[in-house]
Amino acid sequence: MAKLIKIFFWGMMISFLGSLPLGTLNVAAMQIGIQESILHAVYFSLGSLLVEMIYVRISLVGIDWIRKQEKLMKALEWLTLVIIMALAVGSFIAAAKDGGEAKNEFLKNNMHRFLLGMLMSAVNPVQIPFWFGWSTVLFTKKILEPVKPQYNSYIIGIGVGTLLGNCVFIFGGRWLVQRISNSGQYINWVIGGIFAVTAIIQLIKMIMKKDALTQFNNQEHKSK
Q: What is the pTM of this model?
A: 0.79
For residues 183 and 16, which has the higher predicted lDDT (pLDDT)? 16
Sorted by where each begins, the domain ranges of the chain are 2-218
What pLDDT sits at residue 155? Answer: 94
Q: For the segment 3-33, what is each residue's pLDDT rounded down to a tens digit? A: 899 999 999 999 999 888 888 889 899 989 9
Residue 219 in this model has a pLDDT that exceeds 90: no
Predicted local distance difference test score (pLDDT) of residue 129:
75
Condensed to tens digits (0 to 9), the pLDDT of residues 43-79 reads 999 999 999 999 888 878 765 565 566 677 777 778 8
Q: Mind giving me the DSSP string for the chain?
A: -HHHHHHHHHHHHHHHHHHSS--HHHHHHHHHHHHT-HHHHHHHHHHHHHHHHHHHHHHHH-HHHHHH-HHHHHHHHHHHHHHHHHHHHHHHHHHHSGGGTPPPGGG-S-S-HHHHHHHHHHT-TTHHHHHHHHHHHHHHTTSS-SSHHHHHHHHHHHHHHHHHHHHHHHHHHHHHHHHSTTHHHHHHHHHHHHHHHHHHHHHHHHHTT-SHHHHHHHHHHHH-
